[in-house]
Structure 1
């Protein structure tokens, strides 16, 4: 059997598919599309190994459509146009059921490659299904994104991963021949990192490396094999999220030495340059914020620069940004403030906007008092005048705090001077 286990046991029907009940369960949007035979262009966004490719295949099968596939890693504009031409020639043969074009890792497509898809999607020659592990808002051009629905593919939970393992053992001839038994699965799940494809391939790896029969899967057996041949497995990234976590936590913990080490691990592992730069952007606000507003500017400039420069030179830019952010004063005040504000919104619902803060574009609204008591700050000394901006029910509610750093302590002092008792940190 030359095919890997994950391919051999790939689900053939939606009933065999594990996970994503919010999309394909009763009343789910993708289940409804299949039932009505009306598949729309879409982007499937979620972690690796969660079934995006399988779901695309099942959508094509369930709607009885021809299926074309491209990998963004191996395909250029030429390949895209060739596939579109084939689909265009065949689209008339299937009436309204135009072919499905599946593009794996669509976030790796350049702007020109994505532009080459627009005409085919607009004219209905193909129904596009793109799969991505990255936020499509950042990685898919607006013109293409506006023509696609975005569906979030959720990580597989422990019970779902267990179901994937049990199903593989029940179906696969090789595993049955070796009389495979699952005694312990914690190590399998830990090393696969929630990636169903890696989970199955690791299971097969352990089974094939075992001489005995039956093969009893235990945590010790998996740990031993991964330690003995760890670099083979590690290079492909089952520790991907662990290393990213160590990188971010090193910067948050103000240890540039460790942060640069984990950066090097990601670079040597072939990590996407924009993936790293994007994490720095998030960290600059989440963990530094107004303790050093320049951090966000530097992180954003780094993201723009590495998008132009690419490897290998981007490693220097990322190193500079990493050391700067790790050495910067830290504050999570902005992160905590928006969390608290969102929680208040969930608890209090849609509170009325105070009348004095409303616009009055019509005479009737003006008669009703919209904006009547609003005080225009620029008409007052220092461009400030005390007035209430929160809904009546939240008056006196403080949603923000300030970090223990010079910049935010200065902001705190200025707010207290302006607002007196209202801002009590």
Structure 2
């Protein structure tokens, strides 16, 4: 039996589909569309193993439409055009139900490949369903994005994952024949990370490595399965675990851990732009004003690897990762915006002080807009103490520079100017 357990248990209709109840539950918007048969082109965005491909198949089954599928990893513009031509011919037979074109990992399609889809989507020759683990706002061209509805799929809940294990034990003949007893599930859930496919693959490895009637415990899972988890890295199953280790190594100032986890991602076939984007975020979130050059280098890295691609990009990524790992660290800017957003949510839309309002018309000036505004460059050291926050929150300190040479200098700068108002 070569077919994996995850494939054997793949649901065929909405009633068998365990997760994503916010979309396909009784009141879910996508369920209503499926039941009505009016399916727009859409993008399914979520981490690996949450049912994107399965949902696309179910949509095809439930709406009784022809179904074409491509993988962005192995398909080019020529493949897209061939499928569209087939779909156009099918469309003559299914005039009220245009075919579905499912593209897995659509974020890996280049701009020209995505462009080749526009005409078919616009003219209704196909209903596009794209699956992506990346934010469509960054990875899908705006013309195509505007023609698609985006649905966000969430990781499986613990309840859903446990229900999936029990379904496997009950409905799969091979698993049922082993008569295992599921005593503990914490280790299985932890290793799966909300990925249903990964959970079922791990469960099958475990079942095949144990005797009939075995009692499944956390210790047994860790003993039998952990040594096999490297198998899942290559297939991208530990996508989020590996990048988490990568980011935490850099944040922890360990270039050795950083290049090791970078190598794991490269060898696992990770998208070069995904890695570079994480470095770009980290440069601001974890280094920030402690070393502003870090953001410049990370941004240049993103631009460079986007142009060059693998294998040469590995060198550029390594240079950037080791530079960021050995840079001074500060999350002061990150914490400042977090606190500011929390304050906005708490206090609502407070009024802008009159003195710093824009006054482009005479009426605005007459009612006090811009009155008493102090133009900083007219004062000594280009500074004049004023109030820039709404009255209700005046004096609130949101930015607290970190303890490193650059931000210590910032602190001294602020202390000289704001010593009477803020605690720098």
> Please, what TM-score do these two structures have when normalized by structure 2?
0.92
Q: Which residue of 1 aligns with 2:71?
A: 71
Question: d(CA) in 2 for partners of 1:128 and 1:361?
Answer: 47
Assess, with a 3 A threshold, how the Cα gap between structure 1 residues 166 and 392 changes in structure 2: closer, same or farther: same
Q: Which residue of 1 aligns with 2:302?
A: 303
The worse-fitting range, judged by mean Cα deviation, of 225-234 and 340-349 is 225-234
Q: Name the SS of the counterpart of 1:102 in structure 2.
A: strand
Assess, with a 3 A threshold, how the Cα gap between structure 1 residues 357 and 11 changes in structure 2: closer, same or farther: farther
- Unaligned runs of 5+ residues in structure 1 are none
Q: Which residue of 1 aligns with 2:195?
A: 195
Cα deviation per residue 1:190-209 (whole Å; 9 max; x = unaligned)? 32222101111221222233
Cα deviation per residue 1:257-276 (whole Å; 9 max; x = unaligned)? 33222222332333322222
Q: Name the SS of the counterpart of 1:336 in structure 2.
A: helix
Question: d(CA) in 1 for partners of 2:78 and 2:243?
Answer: 35
Question: d(CA) in 1 for partners of 2:372 and 2:96?
Answer: 58
Tell me the matched-pair count: 424
Question: d(CA) in 1 for partners of 2:337 and 2:58?
Answer: 39
Describe how 1:249-268 pairs up with structure 2 within 5 A. 249-268=248-267
The worse-fitting range, judged by mean Cα deviation, of 87-96 and 126-135 is 87-96
Q: Which residue of 2 aligns with 1:385?
A: 384
Question: d(CA) in 1 for partners of 2:51 and 2:24?
Answer: 12
Shift of 1:89: 2.3
Q: Which residue of 2 aligns with 1:336?
A: 335
Q: Name the SS of the counterpart of 1:421 in structure 2.
A: coil
User: 2:127 matched to 1:127?
Assistant: yes
Question: d(CA) in 1 for partners of 2:229 and 2:394?
Answer: 58
> Please, what TM-score do these two structures have when normalized by structure 1?
0.92
Q: Name the SS of the counterpart of 1:94 in structure 2.
A: coil
Q: Which residue of 1 aligns with 2:43?
A: 43
Question: d(CA) in 2 for partners of 1:230 and 1:101?
Answer: 33
Question: d(CA) in 2 for partners of 1:357 and 1:91?
Answer: 60
Shift of 1:128: 1.4
Describe how 1:133-172 pairs up with structure 2 within 5 A. 133-172=133-172
The worse-fitting range, judged by mean Cα deviation, of 403-412 and 56-65 is 56-65
Q: Which residue of 1 aligns with 2:311?
A: 312
Contact 1:191 1:239 in 2 (8 A): no
Q: Which residue of 1 aligns with 2:32?
A: 32
Q: Name the SS of the counterpart of 2:420 in structure 1.
A: helix
Shift of 1:380: 4.7
Shift of 1:279: 1.3
Q: Which residue of 2 aligns with 1:236?
A: 235
Question: d(CA) in 2 for partners of 1:354 and 1:33?
Answer: 48
The worse-fitting range, judged by mean Cα deviation, of 115-124 and 358-367 is 358-367
- Report the aligned-residue RMSD: 2.3
